Structure 1
Amino acid sequence: MITLKPKPAIRLAVAILFLFSLSAWIGCGREQAKTEQQAAKSTAGLFTVPADQLSHVELYNVQPVELQRMLRLTGTVNYNAFKTTPVISAVGGPVARIAVVPGNHVQRGQPMLYVSSPDYSQLRATYLKAQSAFNVADKNFSRAQDLYQHHAIAEKDLLDAEAARTQAQADLQTSEQSLRILGVKDPQAALKTTVAPELPVLAPITGEVVDQTVAPGQLIQAGQTQCFTISDMSTVWVIVNVYQNDLADVRIGDPVTIQTDAYPQKFSGKISYIAAALDPTSRTLQARIVTENPGEKLKKDMYVSATVLAGTIKNALAVPDSAVLRNAQNEPFVYVSAGQNQFAQRQIAIGQSIGGRTQVTSGLKPGDQVVAQGAVFLQFANTLQQY
């Protein structure tokens, strides 16, 4: 039996054909794997919510809106310096008695304390002397008028008598005013007694007594000793510190809402002053807010929060606060509808939260449908589908 050996050319052709088939098979496998990976990638961020559970989901159509820009600051309450004044006695001497204490409300002209003043005797003597001089000058002028009418004296003598009367009257008015400053309401009463009365120190304005710096028996000096401080608490100042990055959002006249943990109500104010220089230590700028204080509830040194209404943001994109969630890295995101009961998680950048809406600075465009209600439900459902 004769055995035929394959020729070398035939063996080579068979080997080439085998290698070609193997390469084609590997190539097809790679293309199929690539297609599957792309398909998986295209749906990696999507998940489906069953139709019977869509009742938990409410969508919000993102459109440009106008937002009120707000700046939140902290501050402290202080007296309104334009409505606060020290009470300085115009009378010198020992304090006889005190009529009011801090916390009391006083009316302008109300006695606050009484002073036993040694100045009274001197002023009384001056007043008596001026009263006597005026009486003499008045009689001399009347006599001069009568003599002039009978051509008994020259006109010059009449004018001299009139000038003397005018000067005496001015001296009397000055001494009378000095007694009134001491608190003597009726200077004529000074003519009837030599006993120095307790002279009152009167409230210069209406307001609340916020400080007392004298005590009974203390010797006070006229025009120098501060006895009390009165402040009209119907308005107060709220002093806040503004960081330089926020200066563009703060202007004189901006309305401000003031809140404190002590009361549920809000107080209204306006920025009235912004300092000219930064504090070199804190790198902040001081601003003053004149605040209405109904019921005088805001007290000095009370801590408050101040929300400055600093203009508007036009054509802003915003979503309800309930739509914004955060991932494990504390990054904000929303769920966006992709149609056919499908949703995708979308990373966003956010700005301020204003009136129940959060400004979105990037990540969304007008027309996007985001989940406003039920976002937490979707987050839970998405987590379950990943396992």
Structure 2
Amino acid sequence: MLLLVAGGSVAGCSSKTDDSAAAASVTPTNVTLTADQRKHVRLATVERSQYQRTIDATGSVDFNNEQATAVLAPFSGPVARLLVDIGDHVNKGDPLAQVDSPDFAAAITAYRKALTTAHTARRLADLEKDLVDHQGVAKREEDQAQADAANADADADAALKALLALNVDPKVIKAVEQGQAIAPIGGVIRSPIAGTVVDRQISPGQLLQAGTTPCFTVADMSRVWVMAQVADTDVASVGVGDTADVSTGVGGKHLTGTVTKISALVNSDTRLVPARVVVDNPQGLLKKQAYVAVQIHSRQPTNGLLVPVSALLRDEENLPFVYVAQPDGSYARRSVTLGHRTGDQFDIPAGLKAGEQVVVDGGIFVQFMQNQ
């Protein structure tokens, strides 16, 4: 009986010893360095600080709708020839397309007839006035002639405005006013503003309807919209007026913009909120529909424990940790939770306390010594 009890006691002690050894094998021990080794380790004290968050987002480039114009067909007829392509830069008044339009010829003819009628009516009115002065006709007839001349002038003015609405070449209008013969010409769709052709919706042979058929979209790409997609968890930190850095993807260049509008709706599928960033684009580095990286610098102050990025290491499961200096001079490995990044620092919401010192230079060496 005594032998059995003794055997059981030995077995129990052996089991406890094995469990303790196993626990010790999986529990990281503090790292102790020599005085010479500690000279290559630099520490920093963790302090609670105030900072402004930087929110990372992706975005797409769009033209500025406030500086873009949809060009509608000013007259009816089939498209004879396209003169520009998407991406071409145009000035105000530049031709975009030629159209075989009867409206064009009809407008020129109407203006020519209106001018002839107005000239004739004005000449008759002047004649009636002269006759009245010499008592050749009654005053009533002279008044009627003046009214007819005024109406004819109004008709000519309306016909001229019709030509201007069709963007008729001023040289053609001047030739009509001088009574010169004009060779048959087609209608020309012209750009109403200077900018870039960002959309083309017609093709040769297509029949256009005056005032209804959209033909082109011309936009001023010197200032564009970047639609940044902000996570719904970050949108509370973004405000109108915040500055943003937009990556152009060209030689590492960045452009600076300003947040001008934040959507009130969250995309139910992506949980993202669009935020509009207006960016000056004088060199045309940002192209329509290009995907870009956006960093929005929030102006709202935030408090947190900030730790340099160089202090953070990763374990085998890619989880972050730091080495914390202990009172006895050793270094303890401490798992931490990463918050928001600001510059070259991370906010640590959990895992550290203010006043503790962490290794910011030499952490890889400390990790190497711990793994020995």
Give me the TM-score of the superposition, normalised by structure 2: 0.80
**Would you say 1:187 and 2:163 are equivalent positions?**
no
Offset at 1:153?
6.6
Structure 2 residue aligned with 1:113: 97
Deviation at 1:195, TM superposition (A): 3.5
Secondary structure of 1:239's match? strand
Q: 1:100 aligns with which of 60, 84, 95?
A: 84
- 2: distance between equivalents of 1:314 and 1:80? 33
- Which amino acid in the other structure matches residue 334 of structure 2? R
Name whichever of 244-253 and 138-147 sits farther off: 138-147
Counterparts in 2 of 1:340 and 1:221: CA distance versus 1, 3 Å: same
Counterpart Cα distance in 2 of 1:277 and 1:270: 20
Following TM superposition, by how much is the alpha carbon of 1:256 offset from its aligned partner in structure 2, in angstroms? 1.8
8 Å CA contact retained: 2:247, 2:292: yes
What's the CA shift for 1:54?
Answer: 2.1
Equivalent in the alignment of 2:126: 142
Identify if the C-alpha distance between structure 1 residues 348 and 122 changes in structure 2 by more than 3 Å, giving closer, same or farther: closer
| Aligned partners of 2:104 and 2:186 also within 8 Å | no
Structure 2 CA distance for partners of 1:301 and 1:356, relative to 1, 3 Å: same
Q: Equivalents in 2 of 1:297, 1:311: separation in Å?
A: 27
1:245 aligns with 2:229: no
Q: Is the counterpart of residue 292 in structure 1 residue 280 in structure 2?
A: yes
CA contact (8 A) 1:118 1:196 kept: no
Q: Which residue of 1 aligns with 2:247?
A: 259
Rounded to whole Å, the distance in 1 between the matches of 2:271 and 2:328 is 54
Cα distance in structure 1, aligned partners of 2:83 and 2:317:
65
Q: Does the residue aligned with 2:326 lie in a helix, a strand or coil?
A: strand
For 1:48-59, what aligned pairs fall within 5 Å after superposition? 48-59=32-43
SS in 2 for 1:362: coil
Tell me, yes or no, if structure 1 residue 301 matches structure 2 residue 302: no
Structure 1 counterpart of 2:149: 165
Check if 1:228 corresponds to 2:216: yes
Distance change in 2, residues 1:131/1:217 (3 Å)? same
Indicate the residue corresponding to 1:351 in structure 2: 339
Judged with a 3 Å threshold, the aligned counterparts in structure 2 of structure 1 residues 129 and 314 are, in CA distance, closer, same or farther, namely closer
Distance change >3 Å, CA 382–CA 188, structure 1 → 2: closer
Counterparts of 1:261 and 1:171 in 2: how far apart (Å)? 57
Aligned-residue offset at 1:94: 3.1
1:370 to 337, 358, 369: 358
How much has 1:158 moved relative to structure 2?
Answer: 5.4
TM-superposed CA distance for 1:374, in Å, is 0.7
Is the contact between residue 46 and residue 307 of structure 2 (CA under 8 Å) also seen in structure 1?
A: yes
Question: Cα offset for 1:359?
Answer: 1.1
SS at match of 2:228: strand
Amino acid at match of 1:289: V
1:83 is matched with which residue? 67
Unaligned runs of 5+ in 2: 1-23
Deviation at 1:45, TM superposition (A): 5.4
Q: Read off the aligned partner of 1:169 and give its amino acid letter.
A: D
The residue type paired with residue 275 of structure 1 is S
SS for the counterpart of 1:273 is strand
Deviation at 1:79, TM superposition (A): 2.7
TM-score, scaled relative to structure 1:
0.77
- Whole-angstrom CA distance in 2 between matches of 1:121 and 1:353: 66
Q: 1:27 is matched with which residue? A: none
Q: Deviations over 1:58-92 (max 9, x none)?
A: 12133333322122122222232223333222122
Q: How many angstroms does 1:97 deviate by?
A: 2.9
Which of 214, 217, 233 aligns to 2:202? It is 214
Question: How many residue pairs align between the two structures?
Answer: 342
1:104 deviates by 1.6
Matches within 5 A, 1:271-350: 271-328=259-316, 330-339=318-327, 341-350=329-338
- Calculate percent identity across the aligned residue pairs: 35
Aligned with 1:287: secondary structure?
Answer: strand
Structure 1 gap ranges (5+): 1-39
Q: Is the 8 A contact 1:120 1:196 kept in 2?
A: no
Cα distance between partner residues in 2 of 1:99 and 1:147: 57
**Offset, 1:337:** 2.6
1:55 and 1:303 map into 2 onto residues whose CA distance is: 47
**Taking structure 1 as reference, are residues 57 and 115 closer, same or farther at Cα in structure 2, changes over 3 Å only?**
same
Give the Cα–Cα distance (whole angstroms) in 2 for the partners of residues 330 and 227 of structure 1.
55
Partner-residue secondary structure (3-state), 2:241: coil
Shift of residue 57 of structure 1? 0.9
How far apart, in 2, do the equivalents of 1:177 and 1:117 lie?
18
Per-residue CA distance 1:77-125 (angstroms, 9 max, x = gap)? 2232223333222122233333222222100111112223222443233
Equivalent AA in structure 2 for residue 51 of structure 1: A
Q: Retained in 2: the 8 A contact 1:93–1:115?
A: yes
Relative distance call for 1:105 and 1:144 in structure 2 (3 A) is same
